[in-house]
Amino acid sequence: MKNRTFLAFVGPSLFLMLLFIAGPLLSVVWQSVHVTRAVYEEVETEVCTPGFLTQKCTMEIRTQPQLDEKGQQITETIFVGFESYKNLLQPEVALESFKQGSWAKLSNIDFYKALRFTLTFTLITLPLVLGMGLLVALTINQTLQSLRGPIIFISLLPFVITPVIGALSIRWLFVGDGILTVLLEWWLERDIAMFAQGWTIEVLMLSYRVWHVTPFAFIVFYAGLQTVSRDTLESAIVDGATRWHRLKLVILPHLSPLILFVSIIHLMDSYRVFEEVIGFRSQAHVISLQWLTYDFLTLDDTGNRMISRASASSMLTMIGIVFLLIFPLRGSWREHRKRRSG
> What is the tens place of the pLDDT at every residue in 18-64?
777 788 888 888 888 888 877 887 887 777 877 766 777 888 888 87
User: Which domains can be identified in the chain, with CATH numbers?
Assistant: 121-287 (1.10.3720.10)
Half-sphere exposure of 61 (CA within 13 A, CB side): 3
* Model pLDDT, residue 258: 92
- pLDDT tens for 93-118 read 888 888 887 777 788 888 999 999 99
Please, which pLDDT band fits residue 1 given cuts at 50, 70 and 90?
very low
Higher pLDDT, 184 or 212: 212
Mean pLDDT check: name the lowest of 48-52, 84-88, 148-152, 288-292: 48-52
Whether the pLDDT of residue 2 is over 60: the answer is no
* Model pLDDT, residue 303: 56
Higher pLDDT, 142 or 305: 142
Average pLDDT over residues 227-256: 85
Beta strand 75-79 with 40-48: parallel, antiparallel or unpaired? unpaired
Mean pLDDT check: name the lowest of 105-109, 185-189, 285-289, 319-323: 185-189
Share of the chain above pLDDT 90, in %: 18
- CB–CB of 162/219 below 8 Å? no
Across the chain, mean pLDDT equals 84
* Model pLDDT, residue 337: 77
Annotate the chain with three-state secondary structure: CHHHHHHHHHHHHHHHHHHHHHHHHHHHHHHHCEEEEECEEEEEEEEECCCCCCCCEEEEEEEEECECCCCCECEEEEECCCHHHHHHHCHHHHHHHHHHCCHHHHCCCHHHHHHHHHHHHHHHHHHHHHHHHHHHHHHHHCCCHHHHHHHHHHHHHHHHCCHHHHHHHHHHHHCCCCHHHHHHHHHHCCCCCCCCCHHHHHHHHHHHHHHHHHHHHHHHHHHHHCCCCHHHHHHHHHCCCCHHHHHHHHHHHHHHHHHHHHHHHHHHHHHCCCHHHHHCCCCCCCCCHHHHHHHHHCCCCCCCCCHHHHHHHHHHHHHHHHHHHHHHHHHHHHHHHHHHHC
